[in-house]
Structure 1
Amino acid sequence: MLTSALPTGLVALASTLVVAGLAVTAVGAPEPAPPAAGAGGERWVWPVAPPRVVRGFDAVGRYEAGHRGVDLAAAPGAPVVAVAAGSVTFAGQVAGRPVVVVAHAGGLRSTYEPVSADVVAGEAVRGGQRVGTLAAPAHCAGATSCLHLGLRAGEDYLDPLGRLRAAAPVLLPLGRP
């Protein structure tokens, strides 16, 4: 009985190590990952071009301070496009800032802030379709202006970078929020 359990245990351990090795290889790979697909298999596109992340997603507890989205460098007046096909569920002011929200397949919602809307609630949009322009003052403080892109599934905040087309990694200084 011990001899038959030993090979099974070794096989399980070897399988775990192979999977872990693949994960480490994928993380350290110099090639960017293939484009990510959103719900329904549609490829998501960057909402501003060229894409440059100035602040990443900071997963935190439900009521803790954090950064529930990503900031993408863009100049005021820059066009902002929908990351994927969907329906505009909101285009208006939230806490004094212009916001656009698009509902996508699979219960996902993308949010764009601050964006002066070219769309209205109830309007269907295609991935890559302009939803507005980056408003001033922009979301980021200081010399860099940016778009804040958020992603939610129900009440949960997700990292939108996982759904967007792959790009070169961006290194941020240590200790930066």
Structure 2
Amino acid sequence: MSPPRVVRRFDPPPRPWLAGHRGVDLAAAPSAEVVAAGAGTVVFAGEVAGRGVVSVAHPGGLRTTYEPVTATVAVGDRLALGDPIGRLAAGHPGCAAPACLHWGLRRDDLYLDPLALLGLGRVRLLPLDGRPVDGAVARRGDAERPVA
């Protein structure tokens, strides 16, 4: 099975209250099986704003989210890497493909690039104090890479 095509990358806002894209959108066929990115426990499976959402808590304080998904899991279910969690629903705002999975990752209130879990996230070396470098704005989400 080939990896899904990334149609929109992680683009966190410079400040937590501003607009941004706090995950990645992955193109796939409608009804495609969606699987857990790692071992964990389902902490939410239901609708948010009319879309099916599944959230999984992982060891080390990480949490992944998947939407729009028709869940086949329930809160409290324990998952292993690759366990099915549901089926991808068609349509996702801002996605030109027939179906896109919005996949998110966070640690506490800090959103992270979920592609880093696959070794595909953008890596930038930034000063530890977060100072701008060569005119670029250092953003917290760019500097951290989660360890699963």
TM-score, with structure 1 as normaliser:
0.63
Deviation per residue, 1:101-141 (Å, 9 max, x gap): 00000000000000000000000011100000001233543
Q: Amino acid of the residue matched to residue 108 of structure 1?
A: L
After TM superposition, which residue ranges in structure 1, 4 or more long, deviate above 6 angstroms? none
Where does structure 1 lack aligned partners over 5 or more consecutive residues? Answer: 1-47, 168-177
Query: Which protein is richer in helix relative to its size?
Result: 1
Between the two proteins, the alignment pairs up a number of residues equal to 120
Provide the aligned C-alpha RMSD in A: 1.8
Q: Amino acid of the residue matched to residue 59 of structure 1?
A: P
Q: Which of these residues, 128, 134, 141, is aligned with residue 88 of structure 2?
A: 134
Per the alignment, in what secondary structure is the counterpart of residue 163 of structure 1?
helix
Identity across matched positions, percent: 57
Per the alignment, in what secondary structure is the counterpart of residue 142 of structure 1?
coil
For the Cα contact (< 8 Å) 2:42–2:76, is it kept in 1?
A: yes
CA offset at residue 52 of structure 1?
1.3
Q: Which of these residues, 62, 65, 89, is aligned with residue 16 of structure 2?
A: 62
Q: Amino acid of the residue matched to residue 68 of structure 2?
A: P
CA offset at residue 59 of structure 1?
1.8
Q: Which of these residues, 83, 88, 101, is aligned with residue 147 of structure 1?
A: 101
Query: Which protein is richer in strand relative to its size?
Result: 2
Other-structure match for 1:72: 26
For the Cα contact (< 8 Å) 1:70–1:150, is it kept in 2?
A: yes
Where does structure 2 lack aligned partners over 5 or more consecutive residues? Answer: 122-148
